[in-house]
Structures are given as structure tokens and as C-alpha cells.
Amino acid sequence: MALPAPISKLDTTVINRIAAGEVIQRPANALKEMLENSLDAKATNIQISVKDGGMKLLQITDNGTGIRKEDLEIVCERFTTSKLKEFEDLKSIATYGFRGEGLASISHVARLTIITKTAASQCAYKASYVDGKLTGPPKPCAGNQGTQIIVEDLFYNLNTRRKALKTTYEEHAKIAEVVGSYAIHNSSVGFCLKKVGDGAACIRTQAKSSVVENICAVHGNSVARELLEVSTEDDKLQFKMVGQITNANYSTRKLIFLLFINHRLVDSAGIRKIIAQVYGAYLPKGGYPFVYLSLEINPNNVDVNVHPTKHQVFFLHEEEIIGKIREALENRLADCNYSRVFYTQARLPSNKPVSESKENEAGTLKPESGRQEVYQKEMVRTDSSQQKLHRFLSHDSSADISKEETKEEKTSNFNKKKKEEKIHAKHPG
């Protein structure tokens, strides 16, 4: 008979790596944690650099309040935070972070370096971390006010997780999605996302912009020109909502849905469902809208401590609030559904025949490059209505017609000669 295995306590490093794997599931999660730290530090300018989809390098630089030198020793330990003192504070939490797990989790699955300077400090300080611990004392260095966090070799110690991730292109796309979402919601903050080695930015927004301007910068004018402002509120339910949604003229193959609840980027299956139902009456099958919604709900009615990645929240009166959102969407779309606009590309007048242009994949006329004009004498008749009769006759029939034409020609010449002889006889000499 087999005996039960003894129960033993896991090593602290093992515990921390297991927990870190829940919080940091991919590069986009690591960036989200660092972005929220920058926003909590009142930054007005945030720059992000990425290499190999964030797997090789993920760097974020802000101009926020910075981190005190004396806090650098414990900043990457689990459950260390400046944003929460007691559990009851969760009921009225107004910051993004509250658990003190973001930087700690990153340091357990990557090589982490922090360079930071506060307004009161004479210089910046640089510190490196492995498994939540300093590799050496912080060193003074040059630097501007704010914080720069450098994450290298993400998941270097979790080969299975590293191999399970998608391509660097797809991981970069998820990073861009996170940056774009926060840039739209935080329009007073300037954001810049770049790939290392590229001159142009993938995303760039200016500080003190409007939400619509940032939607245009991130998703393009094709979305921005079709936007409708939507809003609703209910004092009894203690919530209000503002947002931007596209009208019936815009349609894409995938839903673009940005949802912020009390300024947190989250998701909601219930709200996704009513969006699909409402737009189903306006868009063709397989078409989806752009929807950005920002909900502010009484913090006492929201539970933010639900998921390790903070991607979900629970809130009271969910069905009633979703019903109000549906009503607001339906009313706004119904108000503007009196006409639809179709944008086409105008073709400038040209002296070339239409046959010298062809349609490209987008359906617009495009002149063929390097084609020379064909003269009339070189053209081949291809219109069936302009073909000659002899093309439909046999070879023998064509020969008979030729003989008949020769006979008629001889008769005409003979008659002409006789007529000339008569005239000569009447008027000799």
C-alpha cells in the first residue's frame, strides 16, 4: 500500500516565479504594469521602445515623480506599494496599482534595470534586479526627472512560456494595442511607441490632445471621421458613461472595443454582447464597429481585485448598467441613420483611352506604367459587330466572289470604252 507523500513548503523563488507567471503572461502584460506605474506617477510624456516584440527588450521612460533612492531596495519585492495602506482602501482606490506585484513579477521572469530621479534628488540612481533582489547597491548616474525601466530577456528562465508565445510581429501588435488604448483614454498625456532601430514611431500622440485626435492618430482618419459621441448617466445606479462609437458608415472585420471602468483597461463579455446585438441591425454580416467607452462607477460598487492581470472587474447592478448602455447606443445610432455616405476616389480627366487604365485591388482606376499609345493603323478590330462578311464564308465562296467582281469590272471598262468612241465620232479631230 502506497504511503502519502510528505507536504513541504515551496522555496520562495519557486513561489514567486509561479505567481509572476500569472501576472506577466506576455510582453503586453509587462508593459501594461509599467504604463500604469507611469500614469500613477503623474507623467505627462511616456516613451516606449521595443525589440523583438518585447521579448529581447522592453523599455519605458517617463517624466513622472520618480522613485526615492531609499525605496529602490524594496521596490521589486512582492506586496510593496505606495498606493495602499489597508484592505479597506480598496473600496475607494483611485490608482492603477494597489497590490505591489507588477515590478516584482517582472523581476522574477526577466532582467530588470531601473534608472530614476526625483525632484529633490541631486542626481539619478541606477539599480538592477534579479528575482526581486538588488544585484548591487544603487549607483548615481546622469538622468532627467522621472523613471526609466529596462526589461531584458523576458521569460529567459521559463522556456516553455517563451516557446508558447506567438511571433514577434503578433506580440508587438498586442503591445501597440495596449499603448493605443491608454493613449486614447489619457489624451492629456503624450505617448510614443517605437521599434528599436526604426526611425519612425509606430504610435505617437501629443500631450493635451483630444480623445478624437488620438483616435485619429492611432486608428486613422477612416475611423475618426465616422465617430459619434455617446453618453449616459444614472444617479440611482451611481454611474456615468462617455464614449466614441462609429456610425453605420464604418465597418471592419474585427471589433475594436476599448473599455475603461474607473480608468482601468478591462473587458466585459456582457457589454461586448450588446454591442454585437445593437450593431447587427446596422452593419452587414461580418462587419464590426469601433467602440470606446469610459465608465465611472462608485468605487464602493466595484471589485478590482478579481484577476491577477486586473483585466476583469466585478461591479454591482451590472445588468441594469448594461441595459442603460444598450439604450444609449441604440438611441445614438437611430438619430444618425437618416443617410449613409460612400467615399470614392475621384479620377482626374485624361487624354488616354480608358483601356489604358486598369483597376487595382482596391477598385480604383490606376494607369498602367510604361504603356505607350497605340496608333489607329496598328489597332486590331476585335468588335464582333465590325467584322467583314468574308470571315464567315468558305475559301471557294470567296474565290467565286472574286471572279464575279473581276467580270463586273471588265464589263464596266468595255462600256466606258464604247462611250468614248461615240463621243469621238460626233466630234472628230
The confidence score (pLDDT) of residue 74 equals 87
Average pLDDT over residues 343-364: 53
324: which 3 cell numbers?
442603460
Distance between start and end Cα atoms, the chain:
150
The confidence score (pLDDT) of residue 348 equals 63
The confidence score (pLDDT) of residue 152 equals 95
Q: What is the pLDDT of residues 30-70, one digit of tens each?
A: 999 999 999 999 999 999 999 999 999 999 999 999 999 99
Q: What is the pLDDT of residues 246-284, one digit of tens each?
A: 999 999 999 999 999 999 899 999 999 999 999 999 999
- The model's confidence at residue 362, banded by pLDDT at 50, 70 and 90, is very low
Domains of the chain: 10-218 (3.30.565.10), 220-338 (3.30.230.10)
- DSSP letters for 83-99: S-SSGGGGGG--SS--S
Say whether pLDDT at 364 is over 80: no
Say whether pLDDT at 370 is over 90: no
Say whether pLDDT at 353 is over 60: no
Q: Is the pTM of this model over 0.75?
A: no
Measured CA to CA, the distance from residue 218 to residue 215 in angstroms comes to 5
Q: What is the pLDDT of residues 169-200, one digit of tens each?
A: 999 999 999 999 999 999 999 999 999 988 89
Q: What is the DSSP letter of 7?
A: P
- DSSP letters for 265-315: EE--HHHHHHHHHHHTTTSPTT-B-EEEEEEEE-GGGEE--SSTT----EE
The confidence score (pLDDT) of residue 8 equals 73
The confidence score (pLDDT) of residue 9 equals 72
The confidence score (pLDDT) of residue 356 equals 47
What are the CA-CA distances from residue 265 to residues 11, 260, 304 (Å)?
34, 5, 11
